[in-house]
Amino acid sequence: MKIPALIIERIENLLRRNSEDIYLHEPCFLETNALEYLKDCIDSGWVSSSGKWVSKFENLIAKHTGSKNVIAVSNGTNALRLSLFVLGVKPNEEVLIPPLSFVATANSVSHLGAYPHFVDIESKSLGMCPFALETRLNQIGLKKGDNVFNKITGKRIAAVIPVHIFGLPADLLQIKKICTEWNLPIVEDAAEALGSKLSSSDQDLHCGSIGDLGILSFNGNKIITTGGGGAILTNSDQFAKLARHLSTTAKLAHQWEFIHDRVGWNDRLPNLNAALGVSQIEKLNERLRMKRLLHKKYIDIFNDIEELEIMQETKNSKSNYWLTTLRLSTENPEKLKEQILKTAYSSRIFLRPSWKLLSELPMYSSCQSGDLKEALNQSKRLINLPSSPQLISKN
Ligand SMILES: *Cc1c(COP(=O)(O)O)cnc(C)c1O
């Protein structure tokens, strides 16, 4: 049998229970208290921008991530934009990001009038490559006082956004070392990485809690969902206070007066969404277990096919395996990838190739960038497999 047909046959055998379509990732509300918690919001009238579920949800996120401060916000994109703003990213500055990510990473930079500047990824984690970061900074970075400027454009390099792709932890410990040397702050895009961890000398560090600030997303396709939502994580009380203030229209606390002391945003997560979030995060550990099981099953069923591998967490890291990712190892993988996707879609199994590189999108194609050799190489090879935890039975 040809490889595409073989792959699809094995996915069918593993996952197909009936004639239903098999999606990449679907929200799961099975065995949760979702309806009860949502009913509480509706019965009490507290459905909007304040209420007890928001702080409950924030406390549970803090417990799972070990982050000292958590601010629930309206979505992951806004969490990124607000985090960058809190760090002092201004119009006409540059922010270093990897080219392999969801478009929101670059958009959040643009939303502040700043410019993405692309730094290559590494093959083992698919995240920003510490060596490429160091190389690029040595090439173009110019230190002036506490700041770094791009020698070519003259613009200040204001921050770095490493991304944990598909839940696989990027090498944040090395990236942080380099950023510390260059005095560059980090916003960690952990939108896809709730439950993913890195270990450093017998301590587990949750993705998103290692940079100056980190963000999570609770969009419908993420490991847990609030319909739409996100969170900012930070161990800095000062950043947390500013982020919270700016996310709530910069309103000063007062019983009846409406006084705002600067231009803020309405970035809050509504109570209704937070209630859904609590019902979801209560099932996180169970969901992580199921993801790991599904990932293991994918490894088993594809073990004998030489032309591909299943991406695995790196040494000293634990992935949440949000999306299990297949990587083609043939020399020219483009045609094989196309055939696999065609075969899958005709069987109504909705696999997904990785995103088109951000550096190739029309609005970002003229941005500054280092050598993107590995990103170009990897993006031809990656296919995400159906990864909803409810796709497999519990044992
Ligand atoms: C989902 C996602 C975001 C944005 O989150 P939204 O809640 O959809 O705004 C940002 N970065 C990455 C890597 C994502 O996958």
Question: Residue-wise pLDDT tens for the chain (395 aa)?
Answer: 799 999 999 999 999 888 889 999 999 998 999 999 999 999 999 998 888 999 999 999 999 999 999 999 999 999 999 999 999 999 999 999 999 999 999 999 999 999 999 999 999 999 999 999 999 999 999 999 999 999 999 999 999 999 999 999 999 999 999 999 999 999 999 999 999 999 988 789 999 999 999 999 999 999 999 999 999 999 999 999 999 999 999 999 999 999 999 999 999 999 999 999 999 999 999 999 999 999 999 999 999 999 999 999 999 999 999 999 999 999 999 999 999 999 999 999 999 999 999 999 999 999 999 999 999 999 999 999 999 988 887 54
Among 284, 286, 76, 290, residue whose Cα is nearest residue 195: 284
Among 209, 135, 192, 208, residue whose Cα is nearest residue 355: 192
> Residue 394 has what pLDDT?
56
Residue with tokens 């119009």: 91
Ligand 1 centre to CA of 76 (Å) is 5
> Residue 299 has what pLDDT?
98
Contact call for residues 100 and 121 (beta carbons, < 8 A) = yes
- Nearest Cα residue to atom 2 of ligand 1: 191
Distance CA 249, CA 264 (A): 4
170-187 burial string, b = 16+ CB within 10 Å, else e? bbbbbbbebbeebebbbb
Q: What is the dihedral of CA 127, 76, 280, 324, to 10 degrees?
A: -30
Give ∠ CA 104-109-113 in degrees, rounded to 5.
135
CA distances from 324 to 109, 296, 355, 388, 392 (A): 28, 10, 15, 10, 14
C-beta 102 within 6 A of ligand 1:
yes
Task: Name the E strands within 218-324.
Answer: 230-234, 308-310, 317-318
How many other C-beta atoms are found inside a 10 Å radius of the C-beta of residue 365? 11
Among 8, 217, 24, 11, residue whose Cα is nearest residue 102: 217
Q: Which residue among 192, 232, 265 has the greatest number of ligand 1 atoms within 8 angstroms of its CB, and so is best to mutate?
A: 192
Q: Which residue among 74, 101, 161, 217 has the greatest number of ligand 1 atoms within 8 angstroms of its CB, and so is best to mutate?
A: 217
Closest atom, ligand 1, to C-alpha of 217? 7
C-beta 105 within 6 A of ligand 1:
yes
C-beta 219 within 6 A of ligand 1:
yes
C-beta 217 within 6 A of ligand 1:
yes
Ligand 1 centre to CA of 190 (Å) is 8
Closest atom, ligand 1, to C-alpha of 165? 13
Ligand 1 centre to CA of 25 (Å) is 14
C-beta 192 within 6 A of ligand 1:
yes
Ligand 1 centre to CA of 130 (Å) is 22
Distance, C-alpha 270 to centroid of its chain: 21
> Residue 19 has what pLDDT?
83
> Residue 170 has what pLDDT?
98
DSSP states along 31-88 = T--HHHHHHHHHHHT--SS-SHHHHHHHHHHHHHH--SEEEEES-HHHHHHHHHHHTT
> Residue 1 has what pLDDT?
79
- Dihedral (CA of 137, 235, 37, 388) sign: positive
- Nearest Cα residue to atom 5 of ligand 1: 76
> Residue 205 has what pLDDT?
97
Q: Which two tokens stand for residue 291?
A: 């993801």
Ligand 1 centre to CA of 39 (Å) is 28
Q: Which amino acid is at 291?
A: K
Contact call for residues 375 and 309 (beta carbons, < 8 A) = no
Closest atom, ligand 1, to C-alpha of 80? 10
What's the whole-model pTM score?
0.97
Q: Which two tokens stand for residue 227?
A: 């319909």
C-beta 281 within 6 A of ligand 1:
no
- Nearest Cα residue to atom 13 of ligand 1: 102
Contact call for residues 100 and 145 (beta carbons, < 8 A) = no
CA distances from 100 to 17, 95, 119, 315, 381 (A): 34, 15, 10, 21, 12
C-beta 354 within 6 A of ligand 1:
no
Q: 183: phi > 0 → left, psi -120 to 50 → alpha, else beta; which? A: left
Contact call for residues 116 and 358 (beta carbons, < 8 A) = yes
* Distance, first Cα to last Cα, the chain: 30
Q: Which residue among 24, 102, 223 has the greatest number of ligand 1 atoms within 8 angstroms of its CB, and so is best to mutate?
A: 102
Q: Which two tokens stand for residue 120?
A: 């290559």
> Residue 125 has what pLDDT?
98
